[in-house]
Structure 1
Amino acid sequence: MAKDIDTPCVSLCQLNSELCVSCGRTREEIRKWRGMKRPEKMATVQRAAARLKAVLKKNARRGG
């Protein structure tokens, strides 16, 4: 069986509305993580990374 996907959690949970600003997952994705199958986890990790990149880019433009 293929290796399971590691959670993007960095144990610094900071939910800002519906998004964890530490790992990039939504509250719903965090809640459903354990029950997700490998393809769902892979897609979640990719979306989370894209969200974090967008947040960092937005913060850089604001100077902070």
Structure 2
Amino acid sequence: MDTPVASPCRNICRVSADGALCEGCGRTLDEIGRWQTAEETERRAIVTAAAARLAQLRRAR
């Protein structure tokens, strides 16, 4: 059995200026809303995509 995927929330809940994502965890608002009911495979995909968004956000600054 796989280890459950932990929420990427870092308690830095700040929505980007364009309203597209949380600047703390990198998730979209839709992903945050789906998190509680998401299957583990979807959670893994969300965490991977969120990390990529955060890296892109850091490079843009």
Q: TM-score, normalised by structure 2?
A: 0.92
What 5-or-longer segments of structure 1 have no aligned partner? 60-64
RMSD: 0.7
Q: What is the aligned partner in structure 1 of residue 58 from structure 2? A: 56
Higher-Rg structure is: 1
Q: Report sequence identity in percent.
A: 36
More strand by share: 1
Q: TM-score, normalised by structure 1?
A: 0.88
What 5-or-longer segments of structure 2 have no aligned partner? none
Q: Which one-letter code corresponds to 2:25 in the other structure? A: C
After the TM superposition, list the runs of 4 or more consecutive aligned residues in structure 1 that deviate by more than 2 angstroms. Answer: none
Alignment length, in residue pairs?
59
